[in-house]
């Protein structure tokens, strides 16, 4: 409590290191790992991914068992390329996207709702550096978590699938493609979430916008009659996942490269807008 | 040193800060005093680059805040005790801030100890009292051992022991040659802490002077006199430049004559005086006088209210 412990360094020749990007990145990572709520969201994503994969393995297995006795179902399976089991590990992906997208929103909106932003941007007044550092932390962790959870989900599903005499090869090129594309997709959703959190600066508003884009719009576009909405729904971010993971091009969807561009635009536009607003607005 | 030139902040139609210019010198505690809503916090946020001025500019140690290579090591600020994610522990909050400037963990522990937070450092900020939050804010401000320290209402919510601690801390920091800029709406606290005072009201600087000057600048010295012959003494004292107010039956307030003069007159005329107290205009009075036209939110006595809107100073 005494003031005499204060360093007598008031006259200094050099001031000392400033907020270089790697230091800001380290700071953002400390902020990321020291929030219990973040860790809970990450853990629940993993649990949901693994749990849904196990359920899907069980469901797919019993369906295949029935199909063995039912020629119609067998034909339906054959029409899908015959590989039922390959998408089992990523069954929980839409929940992962919701949770990690919300995490992206929260990590930025909470800066503003708690007032932490004043500390953050007083320490690093060039505001884009903490924004980009946080974006990297969010995107990388969303990617890694989805990839690892998908792989674990695959390992957990293996014995279940096995018991139904179905084959699931986690090392097959389609399995690896599904794992990578889904992980990139969830990372993209997390980035969009963080941009939304920066733009609206409000947790509830940010998560509602995210849910609007990823859950409400796809359904609404299907329900509204007319060719325009049918065509427009191809350009929703949720519609990019199936062209990107399809074995062959599915009619009435985008080509894989188009889907990649559309998803890229869905990330770049809100992120750029968020950066402009962050730079311009008062904290 | 902090230098503001024509600093202006306009929100829509409302001018929060209207073209203020001032200099905060190193080596002394400069108080920033003004009623609520006068523009103190807005000015401080503009100094820290959090709000951009509508017009004008402000520099810290010769450069705009955002241009400094190591901002935390130049300027430490407590702008708001709530500038913390409350689900994080105090230690982790400071650690994350320190990481941006490669400030060692030993320094984090040092400021925690210095601000008396050792016992609660590993607890979530959520459970902190306002006073603990202030201490954490001060710890964060001191983290980079900065040359310039800005504290917005640092004694808010502190217990008496904490108030004394802040007072001694800022005086000590100033004595080391640092620039200390401290805002408050508590004039009594300023009178004890600040060397120099900048008074702001409705976004304008009303006074910018050493604290002694602001106090003595207000009117003449007065003396409180108690005597059992008030009428007679009043007659005797009456003269050029002397005015006497009667406050109670045996209590007078004399201005225009010093205590020695009053005592001599009383002695020569055999009037018994049983109290003779020189009165110094308090900073409070000086402040009220300065800001009486500038208060944003006036208190009014509403009909039927039994509580006077302003506590009488007499």
Evaluate whether B310 touches B299 at the Cβ level (below 8 Å).
yes
Secondary structure of residue B22 in the 3-state scheme: strand
- The pLDDT value recorded for residue A77 is 66
DSSP B38: S
Interface pTM, i.e. ipTM: 0.86
pLDDT attached to residue A135: 98
Spell out which residues of chain A touch residue B165, defining contact as CB-CB under 8 Å. 1
- Whole-number average pLDDT of chain B: 86
Four-way CATH pick for B2-216: 1.10.150.20, 3.40.50.300, 3.40.190.10, 1.20.140.10 = 3.40.50.300
- Provide the pLDDT for residue B313: 37
pLDDT at B59 over 60: yes
Which segments in chain A show pLDDT lower than 50?
1-13
Residue pLDDT, tens place only, B275-298 = 988 876 666 677 777 776 666 566
Q: How confident is the model at residue B189 (pLDDT cuts 50, 70, 90)?
A: confident
From the list B120, B113, B115, B94, the residue with the least C-alpha distance to B105 is: B94
pLDDT for B218? 53
Mutate one of B11, B59, B74, B101 to test the A interface: name it (highest A CB count within 10 A). Answer: B101
Tell me how far CA of residue B249 lies from CA of A59, B237, B244, B246, in angstroms.
98, 17, 13, 7
Residue-range domain boundaries for chain A = 20-280
pLDDT of residue A7: 43
Instruction: Indicate the CATH number of B222-279 among 3.30.470, 3.30.70, 3.30.370, 3.30.9.
Output: 3.30.70
Cβ–Cβ pairs < 8 A, chains A and B: 139
Tell me, yes or no, if B165 comes closer than 8 A to chain A by beta carbon: yes
Judging contacts by C-beta atoms under 8 Å, the chain B residues touching residue A110 are 85
Residue of chain B whose alpha carbon sits nearest to that of A110? B85
The predicted pLDDT at position B231 comes to: 87
Question: Is-contact A136 A180, C-beta < 8 A?
Answer: no
For chain B, residues classed under CATH 3.30.70 are 222-279
Confidence (pLDDT) at A78: 63
Q: Scanning every residue of chain B, which has its alpha carbon at the shortest distance from the alpha carbon of A24?
A: B100
Angle at B187 between CA B184 and CA B189, to 5 degrees: 75
Question: Which range has the worst mean pLDDT, B110-119, B130-139, B305-314?
Answer: B305-314
Q: If pLDDT is split at 50, 70 and 90, which confidence band does B254 have?
A: confident
Greater model confidence, B252 or B94:
B94
Q: With a CB-CB cutoff of 8 Å, which residues 65-124 of chain B face chain A?
A: 65-66, 68-74, 77, 79-80, 82-89, 92-93, 95-97, 99-103, 110, 113-116
Q: What does the pLDDT read at residue A56?
A: 93
pLDDT tens, residue by residue, B198-253 = 988 888 888 898 987 877 665 566 788 999 888 888 888 887 678 888 888 888 88
Burial of residue B95 (CB within 10 Å: 0-12, 13-18, 19+) is buried
pLDDT of residue B278: 81
Q: Is B53 exposed, middle or buried (CB count within 10 Å of its CB: 0-12, 13-18, 19+)?
A: buried
Judged by DSSP in three states, B156 sits in coil
Give the pLDDT band (50/70/90) at residue B314.
Answer: very low
Residue B132 has pLDDT above 60, yes or no: yes
Report in angstroms the alpha-carbon separations of A264 from A179, A184, A259: 18, 11, 8
Whether the predicted pLDDT of B39 surpasses 60: yes
Q: Does B285 touch chain A (CB under 8 A)?
A: no
Per CB-CB distance under 8 Å, the chain A contacts of B60 are: none
pLDDT for B178 beyond 60: yes
| Residue ranges, CATH 3.40.50.300, chain B | 2-216
The 3-state DSSP class for residue B55 equals strand
Task: Find the CB nearest B70 among A8, A10, A17.
Answer: A17
* Mean pLDDT of the region B120-140: 93
Residue B248, H or E segment: strand B243-248
Report the Cα–Cα distance between both ends of chain A, in Å, rounded.
32
Tens-digit pLDDT profile for residues A65-124: 887 787 777 776 666 555 778 889 999 999 999 999 999 999 999 999 999 999 999 999
């Amino acid at each position: 409590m005494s003031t005499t412990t204060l360093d007598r360094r008031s006259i200094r020749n050099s001031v000392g290191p400033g907020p270089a990007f790697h230091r800001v990145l380290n700071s953002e990572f400390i902020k990321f790992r020291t929030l219990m709520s973040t860790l809970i969201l990450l853990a629940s994503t993993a649990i949901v991914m693994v749990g849904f994969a196990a359920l899907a393995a069980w469901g797919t297995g019993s369906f295949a068992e029935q199909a063995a006795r039912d020629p119609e179902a067998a034909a339906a399976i054959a029409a899908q390329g015959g590989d039922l089991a390959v998408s089992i590990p990523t069954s929980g992906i839409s929940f992962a996207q919701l949770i990690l997208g919300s995490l992206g929103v929260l990590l930025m909106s909470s800066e503003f709702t708690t007032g932490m932003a004043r500390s953050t941007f007083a320490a690093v007044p060039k505001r884009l550096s903490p924004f980009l550092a946080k974006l990297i932390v969010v995107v990388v962790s969303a990617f890694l978590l989805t990839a690892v959870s998908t792989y674990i989900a695959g390992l957990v599903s293996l014995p279940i699938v096995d018991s139904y005499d179905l084959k699931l090869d986690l090392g097959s090129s389609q399995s690896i493609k599904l794992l990578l594309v889904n992980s990139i997709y969830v990372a993209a959703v997390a980035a969009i979430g963080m941009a939304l959190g920066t733009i609206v600066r409000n947790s509830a508003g940010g998560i509602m916008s995210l849910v609007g884009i990823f859950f409400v719009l796809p359904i609404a576009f299907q329900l509204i009659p007319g060719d325009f909405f049918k065509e427009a729904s191809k350009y929703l971010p949720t519609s990019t996942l199936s062209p990107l993971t399809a074995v062959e091009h599915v009619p009435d969807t985008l080509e894989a490269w188009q889907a990649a561009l559309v998803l890229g635009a869905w990330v770049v536009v809100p992120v750029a807008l968020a950066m402009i607003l962050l730079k311009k607005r008062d904290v | 040193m902090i230098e503001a030139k024509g600093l202006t902040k306009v929100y829509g139609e409302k001018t929060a800060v209207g073209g203020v210019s001032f200099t905060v010198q190193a080596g002394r505690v400069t108080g920033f005093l003004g009623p609520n809503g006068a523009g103190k916090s807005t000015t401080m946020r503009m100094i820290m680059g959090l709000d951009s001025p509508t017009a004008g500019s402000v520099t810290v140690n010769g450069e705009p805040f955002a241009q400094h290579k190591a901002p935390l090591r130049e300027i430490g600020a407590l702008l708001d005790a709530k500038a913390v994610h409350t689900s994080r522990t105090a230690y982790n909050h400071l650690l994350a801030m320190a990481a941006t400037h490669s400030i060692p963990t030993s320094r984090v522990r040092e400021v925690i100890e210095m601000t008396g937070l050792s016992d609660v450092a590993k607890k979530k900020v959520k459970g902190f009292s306002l006073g603990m939050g202030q201490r954490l804010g001060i710890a964060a401000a001191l983290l980079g051992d900065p040359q310039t320290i800005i504290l917005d209402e640092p004694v808010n919510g502190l217990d008496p022991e904490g108030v004394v601690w802040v007072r001694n801390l800022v005086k000590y920091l100033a004595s080391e040659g640092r620039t200390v800029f401290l805002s408050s709406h508590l004039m009594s606290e300023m009178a004890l802490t600040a060397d120099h005072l900048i008074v702001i009201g409705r976004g304008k600087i009303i006074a910018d002077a050493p604290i002694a000057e602001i106090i003595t600048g207000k009117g003449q010295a007065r003396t409180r006199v108690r005597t059992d012959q008030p009428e007679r003494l009043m007659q005797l004292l009456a003269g050029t430049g002397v005015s006497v107010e009667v406050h109670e039956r045996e209590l007078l307030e004399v201005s225009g004559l010093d205590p020695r003069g009053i005592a001599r007159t009383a002695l020569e005329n055999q009037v018994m005086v049983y109290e003779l107290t020189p009165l110094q205009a308090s900073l409070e009075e000086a402040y009220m006088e300065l800001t009486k036209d500038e208060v944003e939110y006036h208190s009014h006595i509403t009909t039927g209210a039994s509580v006077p809107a302003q506590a009488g100073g007499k």
